[in-house]
Amino acid sequence: MSSRTQTLLIAAAAALSGLLFGYDAGIIAGALLFIRETFVMSETLEGFMVSCVPIGAMLACLISGRICDIAGRRMTLFLTALCFSIGSIISAQADTVNNLIAGRLLLGIAIGIGSCVAPVYVSELADRTRRGQLVNLFVFSIQLGVFLSFLSSWLQSDTGSWRVMIMLGIIPAGLLLLASFILPESPRWLVLRNRKSEARKVLINLHGNDEGCIELEEIEQVAREENKSDWRQIFQPQYFKAVLIAIAVSFFTQTVGINAINYYAPTLFQSTGFATPSQATLATTVIGFMLVVSTTSSLFFIDRIGRRLPLLLGTIGILISLGLIAGAFTLSEDPMIRAWCMFAGALLFMAFHGISIGPACFLIPSEVLPARVRGAGMGLAVAFNWGANVLVAFFLPVVLAEYGVATLFWTFFVITLIGLYVFWRFIPETRGVSLERIELNLLKGTRLRNIGQPTTEH
């Protein structure tokens, strides 16, 4: 199999994993309008049903890193695809709320495992000059999946066929299942398992003889300087500071308001002047398309401009969009003014999120976490991501009922302001630097914001 073919397969695996993530996470936004007509639910039960996906993902993240380190990246991708397929079938065929909850929990487990393994797998196989682009392809595919779920909801808004909306997710799940049989294993994982000859073969096939041998030497150098793999190593000082960066980026990704839109945008629009299901789901679809466009644009500059500058500028843009939405609901009682400000603010939010926090959520952790704890550290970081997601998904209906939209979005505004400071203070620039160089800088005690400097690289 040629290097180009293998690279395309790796990219396809990232794309399918992200597509499943986005579709199964986002489909509830539109389906919820019609699930309410099938099942009678209280606000608390509805919040729990919606939050089952992030709950399953959070629980899976606690063990997915260990699974990834023991079974390997490729086998873990297979398990992800299998869980997606079974979860889609259970959810779409559910005849009770409990069955729907069970199916969504399994989908959450699949998302949790996939969101840990896919970025790690791609970052460990990609050439350093294209690593950001390929990892960001995973993020782009998440947003594409969200958009497709919104589009599916709008197309089915006249019939209300929420079961069809959910069942469509089995198509990319089946493709990922097939792809997992022919994907190469991660050479970094192979080296850590003392399978050096297999690792050399993978690296040479992907990057050529010279570059492959150089990269193998770097991987072995890092492996020699570390002790036997143990999840408790993530709490050692030289590792834990990188884990904290990963946790911070993951946490703020969810708490700036993205899932208020992903899970409840049609519901939010129905509280304004866009009252019908068709109007609410159409507005949500346009917003989802903006997220796809902005994330697509980041594919072209993430390895040119870098990670840090877009993250900071995009977070400032998110602050502006949140202020527009919160201000409209604070200062105006006119439903159409609120509707159009909500629409404009959400468009701006998606535009800035897609070039900043969205890509950073998976790219930065996959780059800064050392190889020995990358699986466990990524699992912990994504667990925080999904933990925050659970809080938003579960409590949002209650907060809306008790305090209103203005309070909700002012809260997101304050959280985003804190996130901006954390990003400015601690996030490094890692563009064009090998994972091994980043790790060596980290182990030498380099300041967090400077661990991406390639000054000592030969």
Give the span between the Cα atoms of 18 and 220, in whole angstroms: 30
What is the mean predicted confidence (pLDDT) over 385-408?
85
Q: Which residue has the higher pLDDT, 103 or 139?
A: 103
Does residue 308 have a pLDDT over 60?
yes
Q: For position 423, what pLDDT does the model report?
A: 92
3-state secondary structure of 222: helix
State in Å, rounded, how far the first CA of the chain is from the last one: 31
Neighbours of 334 (CB within 10 A): 13
Rounded to an integer, the average pLDDT of 37-51 is 87
State mean pLDDT over 19-24: 87
Task: From 238, 247, 305, 251, select the one nearest 448 (Cα to Cα).
Answer: 238
pLDDT of residue 71: 86
Question: What is the rounded average pLDDT of the residues 94-101?
Answer: 93
Residue 255 is which amino acid?
A: T
Residue 274 confidence (pLDDT): 80
Size of the chain in residues = 458
Q: Tens of pLDDT along 217-261?
A: 877 776 665 545 556 777 777 788 888 888 998 889 888 988 888
The domain locations on the chain are 3-448
CATH architecture of the domain covering 3-448? Up-down Bundle (1.20)
* pLDDT above 70: percentage of residues in the chain: 93
| Residue 292, pLDDT score | 86
* Cβ atoms of 446 and 433 closer than 8 Å: no
Q: Confidence band (pLDDT; 50, 70, 90) for 352?
A: very high
Compute the average pLDDT of residues 57-80.
Answer: 84
pLDDT band at 180; cut points 50, 70, 90: confident
Q: H helices then E strands: how many in the chain?
A: 19, 0
**Which pLDDT belongs to residue 458?**
41
User: Are 92 and 167 within 8 A, CB to CB?
Assistant: yes
Q: pLDDT band for position 424 (50/70/90)?
A: very high
pLDDT, position 253? 87
